[in-house]
């Protein structure tokens, strides 16, 4: 708690009315690549408590649509008609089928994932649990992202991370590895930003 109080990003988030410091990670990414536009349809995986969601809503405007997904409730969901909150564990075997029933349009412009497992402190266990989440994110991109669309995927540094980057490079026009200033220095997290999706299969 003391560390959080000293954290400049935590303080700024509270001052600006955001739910968490994580908003500054997405703000940084969007300032570089302008992936969130007025009227965009967006899937956000791992949305609770809404740190990214409020910023997404600001950028997509009243004509946009946010499909916000998490296994725990999203506190802000009743305040914004643009949000379609879908409470589901993405590791369920029928997750993509559930998502298909909720998304009225077939494809979206942007898919964002800030997903991470509940951390145990055991690196290997935490790493491969996060990789399991990334695999579902990639399957979601394959099923729901329109050609030319963009994606942001959180991943941890480790033996599989460069393989995932190569996989994205084969299906997006550009892929960038980004560690925003708001990511804690000791964290192994970084983000893969894919621009210009080809519409081809990601997973084999």
Strands (E) located in the chain? 41-45, 65-70, 83-87, 108-113, 145-156, 172-178, 189-197
pLDDT of residue 15: 53
pLDDT of residue 184: 67
Q: Which residues are catalytic?
A: 154
pLDDT of residue 1: 43
All domains of the chain in start order, with CATH: 2-197 (3.40.50.150)
Instruction: Give pLDDT tens digits along the chain (204 positions).
Output: 434 444 665 556 555 555 566 788 999 999 999 999 999 999 999 998 888 998 999 999 999 999 999 999 988 877 889 999 999 999 999 999 999 999 867 799 999 999 988 888 888 899 999 999 999 999 999 999 999 999 999 999 999 999 999 999 999 999 999 999 878 677 789 999 999 999 867 765
pLDDT of residue 178: 95
pLDDT of residue 85: 94
Q: Is 22 exposed, middle or buried (0-12, 13-18, 19+ CB in 10 A)?
A: buried
Q: Are strands 145-156 and 189-197 parallel, antiparallel or unpaired?
A: antiparallel
180 within 8 A of 25, measured Cβ to Cβ:
yes
From the list 196, 197, 133, the residue with the least C-alpha distance to 160 is 133
pLDDT of residue 20: 61
pTM score, two decimals?
Answer: 0.88
For residue 107, the tally of other CB atoms under 10 A from its CB is 14
């Amino acid at each position: 708690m003391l560390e959080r109080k000293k954290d400049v990003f935590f303080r700024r988030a509270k001052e600006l009315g955001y739910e968490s410091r994580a908003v500054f990670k997405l703000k940084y990414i969007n300032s570089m690549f302008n992936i969130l536009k007025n009227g965009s349809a967006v899937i956000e995986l791992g949305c609770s408590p809404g740190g990214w969601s409020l910023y997404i809503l600001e950028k997509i405007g009243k004509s946009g649509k946010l499909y916000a997904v998490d296994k725990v409730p999203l506190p802000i969901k009743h305040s914004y008609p643009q949000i379609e909150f879908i409470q589901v564990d993405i590791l369920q075997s029928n997750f993509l089928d559930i998502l298909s029933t909720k998304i009225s349009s077939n494809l979206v412009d942007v898919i964002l994932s800030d997903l991470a497992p509940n951390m145990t402190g055991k690196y290997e266990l935490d790493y491969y649990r996060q990789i399991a989440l990334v695999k579902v994110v990639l399957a979601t991109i394959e099923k729901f992202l329109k050609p030319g669309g963009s994606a942001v995927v959180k991943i941890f540094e480790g033996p599989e991370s460069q393989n995932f980057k190569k996989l994205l490079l084969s299906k997006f026009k550009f892929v960038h590895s980004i560690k925003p200033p708001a990511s804690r220095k000791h964290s192994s997290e970084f983000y893969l930003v894919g621009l210009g999706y080809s519409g081809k299969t990601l997973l084999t």
